[in-house]
Amino acid sequence: MNDSTDSIAGLVVQFANSDVHYHHFQGHGPQTSHVQKELSAAQLRHAAKLARLSGLCYRPTDELSESLEKEGLHLISCGQTHFTRWYVADGPAADLSSVTGGPLANDTSTSGKDCLGNELNSVEATANTPNEGASRTRRIVMMRGVVWRTGEFNTRLWQDMMKFWPATFEGEFTQPRDILVSHSGMRDMAQELFTDLRPFLSEANTRRQHVTFGGHSLGGAFALLMACMSCLRIQMPSDAIECYAFGAPPVLSLAEKSVARNIMEVCGLPQGCVKSFVLDNDPIPRAMLSVDPTFALLKQSTPVSFLLETRRRLFGSGASFTPERFLYENVGEVYLIRWSAEAGQRVSLLAPSEMEEQLKLAVEELMRTPAALMQALLDHSHGSYSQELYAAARQLERR
C-alpha cells in the first residue's frame, strides 16, 4: 500500500470510532446554470497528466528534476514544510495535454527544505528561470497530501488538522472582511505556504505566465487556497489561473449561505477555472460536507441532533454547523468519476440538485465490507485518479 493510500486509511479509521450534466455548481450564492460541453478527451488527458504531476510530490527529492524533464517541464524550485511538499516548474503553455506513458508510482523520502539548496525565505525567484519566451510558458505549482506512515507526520501537523472550526479567510482583501471562512488550521498552514511560494507566483505574474495550481488530497485543498490568495493578494489576473484538485477535502465557505455572492466571485476567480475530481468511493472529498460520513453518524446521536437543531433555530440554516450544513462546501466544478458495466468510465459534472445524493457514501457498508473498505483506500490514491481519467479519455476517443 502506498503512502497516499495510507493517508486515507488514517481518516477512514476515524470515521469508524450518461453524459455530463450541464449545470455549473457553486457552493453558495445564486446558482448560475449555463450550457457547457462535457469534458473532451483532450481535457480529460490534461486532467490525468496533472494528476500524474501531483504524484511527483511524493517522489524522492533527488529524482524530481529528472522526472520533470521527462514530462517536458523545467524545475524552478521545490520545498517542504511540516505539512506538505511542493514544487514549481515551467513548461510549454500548450503542451500539458500531450500525455504519454502511464501513471507515476508513489514514493516518499524525507528531504531538506529546498531541493535547489536555497533557504526558502531567501529564494531568488529568477535564479533558475529561463529568461526568454516567458509568455510562451506555463508555470506549474503542485502540492502534496499528507503522508501518514513516515516520520514526516508529526504532532504539529495533527494539531493543525484538528483546528477545523471556521475562521475568517483573507479578511484584509475581501469586502466585507468576514465574508469568507476556512478551516482555521488550513488557513494558518496556507499563509505559511504562500510565503514560500510568493516569489515564484509574483514572478509568474510579472512575466504574464499562466499558472496551474494542483494537488492531491490535502494538496488539492492547498491548491485552491493558493489560487484564491494569488488573486486576492497579488492581483494575479483571473484568466491566468487554473486549479485542479484530486480527492481534496473542502476547506472553504462563505460565512453565511444566504449571501448573494458565491465563493468564486469573492475571490475574483472566473467560473470554470477550478475543477475538483472525486472518485466514486473516496471518502476524503466528502469530509466536512453535509454528506460527510462522520456528519451522518453525528446526526444519529440524539444530543448532537438536538444541538444542531438548536443552532439552526438561533442562527438560521446559513450558519456553518446545522442539520443541513457541515462546515464547508465544494468550490468550482465538481466532477464525479464513476465506472459501471453499462456505461464504462464516466466523468460527470455534478449539478447542485444532485450533489448531495451523488456524493453520499454508505459508511456503514464501507466499514462492514473489507472489499469496500479496500476500494475506498485505493480510490483515494493519486495514481487511481490518473488511471481513471486516462481510461475515461480513451473511452471517449473510441466513440
So what's the pLDDT on residue 182? Answer: 86
pLDDT tens across 158-186, in order? 565 656 678 888 878 988 888 888 888 88
The string of DSSP codes covering 312-337 is HHHH-TTSSEETTEES-B--SEEEEE
Q: How far is CA 217 from CA 141, 221, 293, in A?
A: 15, 7, 17
CA distance 279 to 191: 29
The per-residue pLDDT of the chain, averaged, comes to 71
CATH for 230: 3.40.50.1820
pLDDT over 70, % of the chain: 57
Residue 256 covered by a domain: yes
- Domain containing 229 equals 3-289+327-397
Residue 320 covered by a domain: no
Residue 319 covered by a domain: no
pLDDT tens across 313-324, in order? 443 444 444 434
Which residues neighbour 167 within 8 Å (Cβ) at sequence distance 6 or greater?
181, 182, 183, 184, 187
So what's the pLDDT on residue 34? Answer: 38
Number of domains in the chain: 1
pLDDT tens across 28-53, in order? 333 333 334 589 999 999 999 999 99
Region of 272 (left: φ > 0; alpha: ψ -120 to 50; beta: rest) is left
Residue 295 covered by a domain: no
User: Residues 16, 367: contact at Cβ < 8 Å?
Assistant: yes
CA distance 340 to 320: 35
Residue 93 covered by a domain: yes
Residue 308 covered by a domain: no
Would you place residue 365 in the very low, low, confident or very high pLDDT band (cuts 50, 70, 90)?
Answer: low
User: Residues 223, 211: contact at Cβ < 8 Å?
Assistant: no
Residue 304 covered by a domain: no
User: Residues 102, 50: contact at Cβ < 8 Å?
Assistant: no
Residue 362 covered by a domain: yes
So what's the pLDDT on residue 71? Answer: 94
